[in-house]
Chain A
């Protein structure tokens, strides 16, 4: 690699806003031929937005994008692909109804006579790709029902299916096992030798130090650092990503730990999670850590009764909850703040007041009609207690910022005076200031004797907030760590299943 080489692709001062939220600013990044660059940052730092700009999924509001030195405007992922840019996205983009082979070559099927699709050639080509990746997946099998790891493999095969000159990988290894990651790295190195430019996003620092030459660090939507990997240490990397002292941000107060509130026994949903058992006591914050796709959210959904488990029991305060009945869970004092705020946590088009009152509708009615005044009183009370920033209570929730939306979700559940709060990714996509408020609130609740089960993919959050950390790997609980035992290394090791092999 020569430093002077013309960048294959370059972003200059790119910016992107979603409504009031500035997801990306000062987006500066250059990818040179033969370079493997890491893109680091916490969740919500703007990495995915930057990737989407490069991939033509969203259009930048400002700044410049250059491919081989020439300014370009990508209007769609198709344009990006024509420019030789392949992207492996974090969220699944597969077609469940179609075969693995079709998923890989979609839009670029090999053609035979009369431009008919040559299915033989298609299957052969995909089988070769799978061999290169060292996995044995039948190309003719439908994608529906594949494990997360296999789906990830298909995503990777899709990006490698054409001669990409720029390969962007947004957490490609999140669900992969050790040997599969090794294989992927071999492929990446081969591409590197063919002068492709590669952007690699991962939360696993060891991978970044293994495979990358250079690193770009993002924080709060902006690129804050650009360096050679050789000049960085893991500590410095984390410091630049977080950019603040951890202790100040996660103020978990000590609380009196009381009786068990939640007891889960042998909870199993076939193909998703197996034999999950643990307890959460009053006043305790227990974190459920693990990689994306480990089955954490699914466990939470089964506890609250959204999904019906195949086996196992859930007890709240000694009473067994009937399976698959969220209403019973609510009556037993369980509150559930889901992962996807916009889809599952809120009704975006309804007003702030309406959303806040949703869990309490029964107690706000007179003669079966909902009293607006009671609704407003409730919403106003919680708005004040949570320091919600809003214009009017009649405004649709969708107009609020992410952090304030999360406060509405919290308010909605706190209004039910829960004994157990299950909160999935409490601060995803929330700005730093509001993050601290949410953490303070969770800590306060624990202090008042509420049992809190928190699912989080942000290690600092897990380490800062939790009294105990439960770690899941591929649908199983692989370990439990006390606050004292838990550190970045021990959690990551359990989450990637490295301990299982040893024991």
Chain B
């Protein structure tokens, strides 16, 4: 009876949601293409190779940070401290590399990630074992880590001249025409994206965000998983800091100030639900690219700085409204479908 028609309807519902998800990521790509096209018409130089390469390089560090942020937001938490962690790690990298007997830069990169991971572990410990809401914890560490950076730099600044060329090359050179930074970012996004998509630990993060109590009852070790998400987000912010130094050369205690909001905005624009359980690292990375492109295109079009901020805000609201709208439509459709089945 009712059961006999179930598979077809189930498949239909699946296609529906799959479509929505694909549309979600396709939508960002479409917005991106539209934005670039419009800007290119008004200012053809915008689509020259150098300019496009710049767009990608600018989005790279943000893409790495959004990958980490996605891991945290998917679990229904948030990490506001990533900008400050980036600042700490950026200064540490600069400091270590500009001394006379400098360590090889890959070692410094690992140390930067380690420092980030330690910061993330501190956040994660307070959130999971301390049972303090992530918003409060990371708001606190946003200031605390920044303060630490000021204490450490003591007003000093690292300059590009003191850094080894091999290290600065990471931020400026290309391999086969593709900037090294972009290669690193794509690699990070792919690895983290796959981990979240195809590995148990990653899927458990979705479960935790979708229904925290349910996850616990299903035997998911939620505390451990959330802790790991924070550690990884911290490590990626640490990596972002090292790359920041490589790219800009000049670093002081204010590096990465305000990045956290851009990163969270990009993640949400990229389709990661702020209440957890939904979204992908790929979408979030696309979100970072879209936000970066908007900023660049507004600069190219000589729009005032105020409007740049307003545009990002409008995009964020639009993305949230779109998600809400689609979510309600899908839910209503699924509800009607199971109603018909029950009737």
Which of A57, A115, A270, A271 interacts with B199 by CB under 8 Å?
A115
Whether A271 pairs with B342 at a CB distance below 8 angstroms is yes
Interface size on A, residues (CB 8 A): 46
Indicate whether A5 reaches chain B with its CB closer than 8 angstroms: no
Indicate whether B221 reaches chain A with its CB closer than 8 angstroms: yes
- Across the interface, which residues of B come within 8 angstroms of A391, CB to CB? none
From A91-99, A199-207, A254-262, the one touching the partner chain is: A91-99
From B235-243, B248-256, B332-340, the one touching the partner chain is: B332-340
CA distance A371 to B331 in the complex (A): 44
From A104-112, A279-287, A379-387, A444-452, the one touching the partner chain is: A104-112
Indicate whether B13 reaches chain A with its CB closer than 8 angstroms: yes
Whether B219 pairs with A94 at a CB distance below 8 angstroms is no
Whether B6 pairs with A137 at a CB distance below 8 angstroms is yes
Whether B220 pairs with A78 at a CB distance below 8 angstroms is yes
From B123-131, B167-175, B205-213, the one touching the partner chain is: B205-213
Which of B203, B211, B336 interacts with A102 by CB under 8 Å?
B203
Give the Cβ gap from B207 to chain A, nearest Cβ, in Å: 5
Whether A145 pairs with B331 at a CB distance below 8 angstroms is yes
Known contacts A96-B277, A271-B342, A474-B342; decide if A77 and B219 are in contact (CB<8 Å).
yes
Indicate whether A55 reaches chain B with its CB closer than 8 angstroms: yes
Binary flags per residue of A79-119, CB closer than 8 Å to B gives 1, else 0: 01100000101001111111100100011110100011100
- Across the interface, which residues of B come within 8 angstroms of A78, CB to CB? 219-221
Nearest CB in chain A to that of B277: its residue: A97
CA distance A326 to B184 in the complex (A): 55
Whether A145 pairs with B335 at a CB distance below 8 angstroms is yes
- Across the interface, which residues of B come within 8 angstroms of A274, CB to CB? 343
- Across the interface, which residues of A come within 8 angstroms of B343, CB to CB? 274
Interface set, chain B 285-333, CB cutoff 8 A to A: 330-331, 333
Binary flags per residue of A376-413, CB closer than 8 Å to B gives 1, else 0: 00000000000000000000000000000000000000
Binary flags per residue of B110-128, CB closer than 8 Å to A gives 1, else 0: 0000000000000000000
- Across the interface, which residues of A come within 8 angstroms of B331, CB to CB? 144-145
Known contacts A117-B203, A141-B14, A144-B331; decide if A271 and B336 are in contact (CB<8 Å).
yes
Give the Cβ gap from A342 to chain B, nearest Cβ, in Å: 14
Which of B17, B204, B213, B338 interacts with A150 by CB under 8 Å?
B338
Indicate whether A120 reaches chain B with its CB closer than 8 angstroms: no
CA distance A98 to B335 in the complex (A): 16
Whether A138 pairs with B336 at a CB distance below 8 angstroms is no
- Across the interface, which residues of B come within 8 angstroms of A93, CB to CB? 211, 213-214, 217-218
Give the Cβ gap from A28 to chain B, nearest Cβ, in Å: 25
Which of B209, B218, B277, B341 interacts with A158 by CB under 8 Å?
B218
Interface set, chain B 247-285, CB cutoff 8 A to A: 273, 277-278
Indicate whether A76 reaches chain B with its CB closer than 8 angstroms: yes
Binary flags per residue of B1-41, CB closer than 8 Å to A gives 1, else 0: 00110110011011001000000000000000000000000
- Across the interface, which residues of A come within 8 angstroms of B204, CB to CB? 106-107
Whether A271 pairs with B335 at a CB distance below 8 angstroms is yes
Whether B334 pairs with A142 at a CB distance below 8 angstroms is yes
Nearest CB in chain A to that of B202: its residue: A117
Whether B198 pairs with A98 at a CB distance below 8 angstroms is no
Q: Which of B7, B278, B338, B341 has the most C-beta atoms of chain A within 10 angstroms of its own C-beta?
A: B338
Which of A96, A117, A136 interacts with B210 by CB under 8 Å?
A96
CA distance A109 to B342 in the complex (A): 30
Known contacts A109-B200, A141-B14, A142-B17; decide if A96 and B336 are in contact (CB<8 Å).
no
Indicate whether A135 reaches chain B with its CB closer than 8 angstroms: yes
CA distance A107 to B204 in the complex (A): 6
CA distance A92 to B221 in the complex (A): 19
Give the Cβ gap from B197 to chain A, nearest Cβ, in Å: 8
CA distance A81 to B213 in the complex (A): 16
Whether B211 pairs with A96 at a CB distance below 8 angstroms is yes
Whether B218 pairs with A77 at a CB distance below 8 angstroms is yes
- Across the interface, which residues of B come within 8 angstroms of A145, CB to CB? 13, 330-331, 333-335, 337-338
Give the Cβ gap from A81 to chain B, nearest Cβ, in Å: 4
Whether A81 pairs with B219 at a CB distance below 8 angstroms is yes
Indicate whether A253 reaches chain B with its CB closer than 8 angstroms: no
Whether A107 pairs with B218 at a CB distance below 8 angstroms is yes
CA distance A117 to B194 in the complex (A): 10
- Across the interface, which residues of A come within 8 angstroms of B334, CB to CB? 142, 144-146
Interface set, chain A 247-302, CB cutoff 8 A to B: 270-272, 274
CA distance A141 to B341 in the complex (A): 15
CA distance A55 to B337 in the complex (A): 34
Whether A135 pairs with B3 at a CB distance below 8 angstroms is yes
- Across the interface, which residues of A come within 8 angstroms of B4, CB to CB? 136
Whether B199 pairs with A138 at a CB distance below 8 angstroms is no
Whether A138 pairs with B342 at a CB distance below 8 angstroms is no
Nearest CB in chain B to that of A87: its residue: B217
Indicate whether B156 reaches chain A with its CB closer than 8 angstroms: no
Residue pairs across A and B with Cβ atoms less than 8 A apart, 5 shown, are A55-B217, A87-B217, A94-B211, A97-B209, A135-B6
B contact set with A: CB distance below 8 Å:
3-4, 6-7, 10-11, 13-14, 17, 198-200, 203-204, 206-207, 209-211, 213-221, 273, 277-278, 330-331, 333-339, 341-343
Q: Given A106-B204, A137-B6, A270-B339, output 5 extra A-B contacts at Cβ < 8 Å.
A: A76-B216, A93-B214, A117-B203, A141-B11, A270-B336
